[in-house]
Structure 1
């Protein structure tokens, strides 16, 4: 079975040892069980500023994007979330707001139709599942919505697969290490716009002091470079080889980028599409998990190497031939 379901790419052994050493050093501190400051441990905030350019005075450490969404829920009575996108975000936000899932094109009109400020949630760059990124016009529209009083959140969890990019003016940025280091890293951060402040539910909600300090001690430039080489570059290469191969075999063209892409089988049920992929020993993600159209699947490339990516493309080409033109790139 070739796993295109998106498992985390394993770390090299030397990086595991380096993290273990950083964790041990954090545990040796006398104040290892102290309560972390409201915005996060100062050592970690300093490291984030050095490594990623985040402003410490406008940054709060979180347990990840989903945890941020849980802390955010209820800040506005209406939340407008992207479609397609990670469906769990809408579920989490629904704990404190009425939620509607809309395409990027529909979001501005829906926000302006609300009688009061709404939360607008999008993911860029390279959102899950279709790899789409905001263009300059879309960024400008989000900045306009923020200026009109709406709470715009840009989830940048796939930032590792694209050049550095600031959120649009007036918008929140939220990210985590999940797509670089694995979902078990449980460390992220959010940056709020100038002139605003984080909600009380978000402050003091970060991970344990020792965990924050372990990451602060680990995320030196050399370790970060090694993570990118070991976990990001092979994923991008696998996706490129897959799309290039299908371009050669079928003439398909793929938009977007990052670690994933979307395929859609017109007129087929989700059960049939998943069964067809499983028959070819390809594990994929079901489209409904990402609010994608019926009959669609998400393919992610963090769990395959270059040879597996090419073999997977060959199998998809055979499936496309059986589908008689109904299977094609989605998004």
Structure 2
């Protein structure tokens, strides 16, 4: 009876030991991220607040939207229309991309292979989103096109919003219905902003080459599904492709490089401590090199202008 229970007991001991290791890893990573959050929380809060501002701008343009004939579009001619009963395909794929990225961004809390800090990653992501959304707000308020979506067409009761009775009606965006059934916020696609920013971020900081290839295929499929579902014109998707990529490139050149943790040599300290340490090393290195040059000059080993 004791011999039969030995494998089960060994398995329980093994799982208990691994669970304790995982718990220690989660606690240690949480402690580090909280320190980074305490230092960088203003940037994260500003990015999150602007998501509400972006939704508010999209809500406001719906009051100005006027339904009309659908514009001639090459994508509508090439891609067959999904119809109202299958228009959820694009939203389903977008949800898969969105939640997959969010879960992946928190994987350093569990997995040993850490290549980034989650707080620093989301600062970069939100910076890209905010810049793209500012450009998007400017663009769709400049020219308000008749929406091609089913609820934005002539005869639909949702195509035009009644005049708001109070400012609170505008400020309360009616999430998620106000987002899902918005009209007028066309150029350029908000879904493509999130999709491209997330995929570009994973391509840079992710490690699985197969998933990177799959992610780009999902972006292409998302682009076609958006047009096939008649949620946007083709121009909304095309403009998003080159605008978002240029914005991500611009933000990457302006923000400091994130420390690579894949080598395991990075100490678990907030970034400001690491920067101080690196500055001390640079100063010591310069001091050492200066002393070495002076030593050469005093010994007559330097030949430039001293012959």
TM-score (norm 2): 0.26
Q: Which has the higher helix share?
A: 2
TM-score (norm 1): 0.24
Q: Which has the higher strand share?
A: 1
- Structure whose alpha-carbon radius of gyration is higher: 2
